Chain A
């Protein structure tokens, strides 16, 4: 089966009225026919009328606005800086914390092109595994590129890594699509306890970490500890968070009996609690007694205990600060964010507000300036940021995903439960493949993806404006020399390949 997502311009905010996917596809067919004859099609592949000029940043260094946008998005699209600047940084952040209030119709229409992904978990089995897996990866890239709810998309990717599931394991190819929707997307800016509970009862997670095998139907059955261990080590307290092997075993006992129906059964993919497979004796988890006879309720008691544990606040805070501030975040920032986590009982919005208030996040003070542009973009971020910065038209084709494979970050393909690493060391050796991707994109050699380099240059107000747009500041002397050496025809690819553009 072939479901071809409609391609659309990455320009944000151009209202197009209500158009169904079928309409879009019909229009696209016409558009390609017209394109083949060399005419442009206003409103379909380009925004209505000529795309507007946009003011690039004017400073010699990355300014606060550029820095905040860069950290809270998958890259800065033309015009986005001006829009956020008019609003003000704080108001922009507040608005991004309320994604439902941001009109994102154009992106939603694109996302609906991947129709498989709206299906309930059990129905996903009706499709071929590779179709579900591919559409999930494609829709994730499309949303990262096109959504106006950029912070939300960044948070979705953060939680998706945090609760990592490799869809190449067993039934996960089908069920991960439901997990992504019902766990990370449902609760990305919600409450951590809700997020954790959704993950604990996600059909894909029950497969991925063997929770479905965790049963005690007879006194000889030993609990399967896999999920219990990762729950403590990765999802909540962290590896040195102060739990013991005994705690792992006790948590596993609490969760025994929860399983998911496999393909051979009616209502496949359904999560259920089998009381006869549950160890209903008394347990002791992290020093807290859970009385015998709790049944299915043991799960909520365990989750409440781990959510309230101070190590969980610190673990989540550390990871968030690593993502948004620096690989080795300042202790003061971690303390502030962990404090907000505890005080709000894991309200992600409150946690993010605390993070955004950290001086090290803004990096405005002179001694903190070095934090700006210091993080290496991971490959997915790098790809999305190029597509956004160039206003690319893309259908997130397989060829584009192949580039991500060479770079080592196809979505939902990390094999171990700790998720794609968030360190520069893990990613800095892939430069050759980044440069090849930049060259392929800039030369329009990727089928299904198009950029209009001449128009981008015009909109940026010339070569200097283009450099400022992509570097977030004026080019430094070395960059100017390299730009001169490369010549105007290679300015775009040079900038996209430059060390500054690898960073955020």
Chain B
């Protein structure tokens, strides 16, 4: 890894894919309520978002008021929203559904991001090409040439208790096999050393809240701007499994999601054009509210793509919520397969979607 490959790894020069996974099955009908659909209000007499409350996107859909921070991005045309999106598997188990979505199918080894990175990097590992913000490597990054769990940017520094850089440089200088790799690693450390997390000043007035999700996004923004070769980063937001008193559970999460993404978009500024943020969840939830003012596990949910040259707007087929069009026990049908939605996003990053989802005949999805 020499300095030029740090800046321009693989074929996707300077581009970064950020995948936000909403774990627990986020209710698509709350994130992007079809306020213009009477069936929606009939199915959810007590918990529906009214047309007046929602942030109108088009004649049918609105954003939940707690996602209002995303309204500017939508009107600027850099936020795409895909309702009724999900996978073709009808498991309603969190674990199975997450596993499937992250692997891309029941029968392929590795994760979709990992396979895609392996293809675009030709199997060689660049130290910082794939990062998982948080505490563990998600299944989607399995089979990446390397995947680094990052709790904080400061993890990327040589630790204070490591040997001094000069001593390491001296030790490795004469090694026929490892001298070049060591030089590159030490130079990466030096570059990272100028990026201490606490010294970072977000640009364009972006304000990241003082919580884990926003802080993760802030660090991703910092790495993107530093051009250290991050091709993919993942970050999770938990707390979407809203069987009970849904609003009290997910409204705070929606605010965290929207304010984090809004700050990220503002902070990146022009770099948002080469950074795609995908927001997805393992499934959506039952159309009818339950007796506890919550909703149960369902099928179709909402997927968002922010930036990266995406065509803004509401996309895809809407299957409707009439009784005859529901799936299984009364769920939003999956009219838009997430793999078809991701294909054009990945294509803009280079490497091709067929590496991520081998063997899939992608349906055209102009996003």
Contact = CB atoms under 8 A, between A and B. Distances in A.
B182 A431 contact: yes
B161 interface: yes
A430 B158 contact: no
Interface string B183-206: 011001100000000000000000
A317 interface: no
Interface string A419-440: 0000010101111110110111
* Chain B interface extent, by class: 35 or more
Contacts of B109: 166, 168-169, 172, 208, 415-416
Contact of B163 (A431, A494, A502): A494
B66 interface: no
Contacts of B166: 485
Interface string B123-136: 11111000000001
Interface in B108-160: 108-111, 114-115, 118, 123-127, 136-137, 139, 142-143, 145-149, 155, 158-159
B147 A435 contact: no
B163 A486 contact: yes
A148 B251 CA distance: 56
Contact of A429 (B111, B124, B142, B147): B124
Interface residues of A, number: 52
A445 B159 CA distance: 11
A405 B148 contact: yes
A57 to B, nearest CB: 19
B360 interface: no
A470 to B, nearest CB: 13
Nearest to B145: A408
A432 B136 contact: no
B291 interface: no
Contacts of B322: none
Task: Kindly name the residue among B1, B161, B170, B182 whose own CB sees the greatest number of chain A CB atoms within 10 A.
Answer: B161
B162 interface: yes
A490 interface: yes
Given A168-B142, A428-B178, A435 B167 contact: no
B103 interface: yes
B172 interface: yes
Nearest to B147: A405
Contact of B184 (A170, A406, A429, A478): A429
B107 interface: yes
Given A405-B148, A493-B162, A493-B163, A415 B143 contact: yes
A431 B178 contact: yes
B171 interface: yes
Interface string A181-193: 0000000000000
A490 B163 contact: yes
Contact of A499 (B110, B123, B172): B172
Given A169-B107, A482-B167, A485-B166, A429 B181 contact: yes
Given A430-B146, A432-B189, A499 B170 contact: no
B184 A439 contact: no
Contacts of B174: 478
30 contacts: A168-B110, A168-B111, A168-B143, A169-B107, A402-B136, A405-B149, A406-B148, A406-B149, A408-B145, A408-B147, A415-B109, A416-B109, A428-B177, A429-B181, A429-B185, A430-B127, A430-B146, A431-B181, A432-B158, A439-B161, A439-B162, A440-B159, A443-B161, A445-B159, A478-B171, A481-B170, A494-B171, A497-B162, A498-B171, A502-B178
Interface of A: 128-130, 166, 168-170, 172, 208, 210, 374, 376, 398, 402, 405-408, 413-416, 424, 426, 428-433, 435-436, 438-440, 442-443, 445, 478-479, 481-482, 485-486, 490, 493-494, 497-499, 502-503
Given A406-B149, A429-B125, 15 more contacts: A405-B148, A415-B114, A428-B181, A429-B1, A429-B185, A431-B178, A431-B185, A435-B162, A438-B162, A478-B174, A485-B166, A493-B163, A494-B171, A497-B163, A499-B177
For the complex of A and B, 3 pairs with smallest distance between CB atoms: A415-B143, A169-B109, A415-B110
